[in-house]
A = this chain, B = another copy of it.
């Protein structure tokens, strides 16, 4: 394989000049640039990016840490982050932390060892102090850590408000809300706050159910949903915290012979591909995942460049009406 020296010899220039051209640094004449380009083509020379990132001390790679690749929300987020990274010339090192403290710590160490330019952290459980030590930019998505790191969120509270208002305007009077994981504080908790506010204002009673970490990991909510629908048979409106839960609610309704939307209306959250694949299709709260990914990449890019970036960016959500309301 050709080396930098070969390119220098072929182009009749010094190694220093060739290096300046490759790194676009200092004064370079057009003719030198032209000679280097031709020599590189002739020798089929590829600049070794590992060597380049070493000398620049940062790389064009970013680390993306998610707790769950298979969860449809993170699938869409990863797909969008990869696309936005590609557009900005970054490559994506993907890490599945499986939401354990040890794995996330380990992955962050891998990122620092590999000199990534920055990290996008989607949810998770890493203690705040870990971040102070690593010295590379971090942007969080749906995970507000009040330690100066840039955070991107959707307006979860607004989502809860929209869901409650929709169900109540449809005439529902016995509401049920399947919320976040109990005991784990996340921005998504605000969905419940918004939902509660509207129900209290409108004097509509509602039952509230927390979920468990093990359900989040396995994405299996069927038994819990069947139990709660048997316990509260008068339920006529449900707002659940993900489209995965909403899809499984449809399955339980079929089993219990509850017609949707006639007898029970259901609103999910996320608006991922799955919400268009169920029968009937899901009414849901749209998270602007594409825009969240784009903004997260912009923030990371600006951080890497040393710019001051917004500490908190909150994007609006919207109600998407399909067939379950």
Q: Which residues of A contact B (CB under 8 A)?
A: 1, 46-51, 53-54, 59, 61, 69-70, 75-76, 78-79, 82-83, 86, 91-96, 109-110, 112-115, 135, 219, 244, 247-248, 250-251, 254, 273-274, 277-281
CB distance from A292 to the nearest CB of B (A): 15
Contact assessment for A279 and B277 in the assembled complex, using a CB-CB cutoff below 8 Å: no
Separation of A86 and B97 alpha carbons in the complex (Å)? 10
Contact assessment for A113 and B247 in the assembled complex, using a CB-CB cutoff below 8 Å: no
Contacts of A274 in B (CB 8 A): 274, 277
CB distance from A228 to the nearest CB of B (A): 18
Q: With A219-B273, A277-B247 given, is the CB distance from A82 to B59 under 8 Å?
A: no
Contact assessment for B96 and A93 in the assembled complex, using a CB-CB cutoff below 8 Å: no
Would you give 21 A-B contacts (Cβ < 8 Å), ordered by A? A1-B135, A46-B113, A49-B114, A50-B53, A50-B54, A50-B59, A50-B114, A61-B93, A69-B78, A75-B75, A79-B96, A91-B95, A93-B93, A93-B94, A94-B94, A219-B273, A247-B277, A251-B277, A251-B281, A274-B274, A274-B277
Contact assessment for A70 and B281 in the assembled complex, using a CB-CB cutoff below 8 Å: no
Contact assessment for A277 and B254 in the assembled complex, using a CB-CB cutoff below 8 Å: no
Contacts of A50 in B (CB 8 A): 50, 53-54, 59, 113-115
Contacts of A49 in B (CB 8 A): 110, 113-115
Contact assessment for B94 and A82 in the assembled complex, using a CB-CB cutoff below 8 Å: yes
Contacts of A251 in B (CB 8 A): 277, 279, 281
Contacts of A115 in B (CB 8 A): 48-50
Contacts of A244 in B (CB 8 A): 277
Separation of A219 and B69 alpha carbons in the complex (Å)? 19
Closest B residue to A114 by CB, please name it.
Answer: B49
Contacts of A247 in B (CB 8 A): 277-279
